[in-house]
Amino acid sequence: MASNESTSSLLPPPNLGNLRRYSQLSLSEASLASYEVDHRMSTSSMEMNDYKRAGTIVRLHDRDDAEQWKGVKRYFYLFSPILIFTDVILYLLYLGFRLYCNIDVQRTTKINAGAAWIFFGVEFLITIPYLMNNGWAMFALKTRNRPRLRLMGSHDLPTVDVFVTCCKEDNDVIMDTARASCDQDYPQDRFRVIILDDGKSQELEQMAEEASHMWPNLIYMSREKIPGKPHHFKAGNLNFGLEQITLLPGGSAEFVAALDADMIPEPHWLRACLPHLLTDRKVAMACPPQLFYNTPRSDPIGQSLDFFVHVTEPIKDTLNAAWCTGSGYICRRSALDDIGGIPVGGIAEDVATSNLFIGKGWTTAYVHEPLQFGTVPEDFSSHLKQRSRWCIGTVENAMNMNFYLYGAKIKHMTTLARLSSFLIGILSFYPILFTISLFSLPVILILGRPLVIFTSENQFRWLIRAAFATVVSRRIMEFFLYIPAGYHTGQRYARYQIWMAPYLCISLVRAFFLPKWLGGTSGGTFKPTGSLGSALNERDAELRKGLFIRMWAILIQCQAVFHLLFVWFCITGATIVTYKCFIIELDTYHILQCMITHAWWPPVTWIFLCSSMWAPVAYAISPPTVPDREELLNRDDKTGIAHPREVTKKTAFGAQAFFFEAEYTITTVYTALCFAATFFLF
């Protein structure tokens, strides 16, 4: 087994025979294009063994996501672009009327209503990314028709090199991925599994060598890292693998796949992804969604990627702008060579690779099937680092591609693909605007000034009615837009964006705006202050640290104390101003009007913001309990192969989701009552 860059040390393990001699068995590019597509339909219960004719690709369904969401839901989803458009128009009319009322008050009374203007500014700043995001989501109107395909047969199939990239992860986790990769429903002489170990673990090398006796197509590699020479992290590891497989007997395979260390592929992963590359020679990469099997009940801090993989990526796929999700992808080797390998110099090599493919005139395919399952970070701090790294990587790529507006790198990118990528790149700065507006809200409430101003009772009534219209349209739109991922997933994603915004804001400012002498960093990812010491083990009921240690680590070292202060000042401000309304005003009519205009303006946005910002505090107080990883897997005792249990593949509904929905429903009902009151009370 090899652990350095010398050619002689990368020879195949013993007893391989001709299993690696791809040069004797490989198909030409011309023959790849000649695969016949069988358009026979099949039900989910159909056995693949019914079609064992070499060179046939079976069309199992007209849509690859047929099992994710089906029936009337699919037809309801077609209304989402219309509902999005309606919601945007109503919200713009509402803001326009608010602006008119503010100007009218100043013009007629000469009063400088600063708090009302600040509140309007908050809503306006939040609206900009909201409008851009919803405008982009209207691309859902473009029909996506990627079929569910399967590559059949056992002879003359294309060759594949599967990389399992790792760097100091738990060896058992890595080997679970490696074993599942070796256990593909695919001829063993047509693919290799190469563990690319950037952690240079002797124990992992030994484990891989032992496993190679059962799976002779398993290889271990580890590159030598020279001090002072850039290693380029995961991208450098992948490029090392691309270089080394050319030195193996038979050379490189026709296709190259990659899996993260924790991503366990389903047995039909290769047969599901390869057809999308074989039926269209312009497709450079096919990539399935990243799904997880250890997500806590209710997903309290938004760790699943369900909204991105079930809503965002399918829309991008319709525009030929699908991004590589980082694991489970399969690339055409000739396409990788065409772009010069995996791009280095950034922290999101997967997105960069996708962009270069599309910019070069290749296409990418998003295979919307559950083909791999991995693990989410098991502690709060790691989650923050992961998400801030992704945000910085997205912005880095946008900047390197001139925000997809011009340049040789996007020469062949379509207009819609450019627009889609541009919007996502710009929206990555959204946390900065949102955080500024977010922390101005408690200041407004503490000041006790009116949030909404008007010159007549008629204006007051129509302002409430306009607010009601936007709330109703928003609720209806969300029910339809969130159908692919699930309604509660969409709501969870919206709350995640709120409480995560301050962390992403800090990371963006440090990475792109602050000089180094003021705390700026090249990586920019969020880092807790001080040292977290030993692991909190917050999700282990027996080993988790005590409440005080958890609160100190998350509130102080991870700086969630700002979230706590936000909630405290909002509630305090709303309480004080409500009390003043009861003291100052003399009758019920004016008390209610005072309360509504000073703190309880429908839909009482500050309550939604507070419940969202409370997420990290609630997590510190009562973290979720997740079973040991082994309990989440079904393992074959003889082979050691493990796959996630079916029940673990979806996020379970829990008390937190119920609480959020109850709160959202109450504020919606309150808005409806305010609307009704405009006809008989106000």
13-27, 254-268, 459-473: segment of lowest average pLDDT: 13-27
DSSP letter at 484?
Answer: T
Query: Residue 548: is its pLDDT beyond 70?
Result: yes
Query: Residue 33: is its pLDDT beyond 60?
Result: no
Average of pLDDT values for 325-333? 94
What is the share, in percent, of the chain residues with pLDDT greater than 70?
89
Q: Output the pLDDT for position 17.
A: 32
The model's pLDDT over 474-526, given as tens digits with 9 standing for 90+, comes to 999 989 888 888 888 888 888 999 999 999 999 999 999 988 888 777 665 65
Average of pLDDT values for 576-585? 94
Number of other CB atoms surrounding residue 514 within 10 Å: 15
Helix or strand or coil: residue 335?
A: helix
Number of other CB atoms surrounding residue 475 within 10 Å: 15
Query: Residue 30: is its pLDDT beyond 90?
Result: no
The model's pLDDT over 212-235, given as tens digits with 9 standing for 90+, comes to 999 999 999 999 988 888 889 999
Q: Output the pLDDT for position 141.
A: 66
User: CA 331 to CA 273: how far, in whole Å?
Assistant: 10
What is the share, in percent, of the chain residues with pLDDT greater than 90?
66
Q: Output the pLDDT for position 37.
A: 57
Q: Are 376 and 383 in contact (CB under 8 A)?
A: yes
Query: Residue 4: is its pLDDT beyond 50?
Result: no
Residue found by looking up tokens 């998400």 in the block: 387
Q: How confident is the model at residue 528 (pLDDT cuts 50, 70, 90)?
A: low
Query: Residue 581: is its pLDDT beyond 90?
Result: yes
SS (H, E, C) 566-628: HHHHHHHHHHHHHHHHHHHCCCHHHHHHHHHHHCCCCCCHHHHHHHHHCHHHHHHHCCCCCCC
Q: Output the pLDDT for position 156.
A: 85
Work out the mean pLDDT of the chain and round it to a whole number. Answer: 87
User: CA 189 to CA 530: how far, in whole Å?
Assistant: 51
User: CA 411 to CA 423: how far, in whole Å?
Assistant: 18
User: CA 36 to CA 30: how far, in whole Å?
Assistant: 13
Average of pLDDT values for 444-460? 92
Q: Which two tokens stand for residue 404?
A: 């997809």
User: CA 64 to CA 60: how far, in whole Å?
Assistant: 8
| More reliable by pLDDT, 593 or 656 | 593
Q: Are 429 and 552 in contact (CB under 8 A)?
A: no
The model's pLDDT over 45-89, given as tens digits with 9 standing for 90+, comes to 333 343 334 468 999 999 999 887 777 888 888 888 889 889 989
Angle between helices 561-584 and 605-613 (to 10 degrees): 150
Q: Output the pLDDT for position 150.
A: 96
Average of pLDDT values for 157-175? 96
Average of pLDDT values for 342-348? 89
18-32, 133-147, 328-342, 559-573: segment of lowest average pLDDT: 18-32
The count of C-alpha atoms lying within 13 angstroms of the C-alpha of 360, restricted to the half-sphere facing its C-beta, is: 20
| More reliable by pLDDT, 529 or 496 | 496
User: CA 345 to CA 230: how far, in whole Å?
Assistant: 9
Query: Residue 9: is its pLDDT beyond 60?
Result: no
User: CA 395 to CA 417: how far, in whole Å?
Assistant: 17
Q: Which two tokens stand for residue 132?
A: 């851009």
| More reliable by pLDDT, 46 or 382 | 382
Element (H, E) at 246: none
Residue found by looking up tokens 């040390």 in the block: 9
Q: Which two tokens stand for residue 376?
A: 């989410």
Number of other CB atoms surrounding residue 399 within 10 Å: 12
Query: Residue 583: is its pLDDT beyond 90?
Result: yes
Q: Are 123 and 98 in contact (CB under 8 A)?
A: yes
The model's pLDDT over 411-446, given as tens digits with 9 standing for 90+, comes to 999 998 998 899 889 889 989 988 988 888 898 899
Number of other CB atoms surrounding residue 673 within 10 Å: 12
Average of pLDDT values for 542-561? 94
39-53, 185-199, 667-681: segment of lowest average pLDDT: 39-53
User: CA 89 to CA 95: how far, in whole Å?
Assistant: 10
Query: Residue 16: is its pLDDT beyond 50?
Result: no
The model's pLDDT over 234-268, given as tens digits with 9 standing for 90+, comes to 999 999 999 999 999 999 999 999 999 999 999 99
Average of pLDDT values for 342-366? 93
Buried b (16+ CB within 10 A) or exposed e, 322-354: bbbbbbbbbbbbebbeebeebbbebbbbbbbbb
Query: Residue 303: is its pLDDT beyond 90?
Result: yes
Q: Output the pLDDT for position 36.
A: 53
The model's pLDDT over 597-641, given as tens digits with 9 standing for 90+, comes to 999 999 998 999 999 999 999 999 999 999 999 999 999 999 999
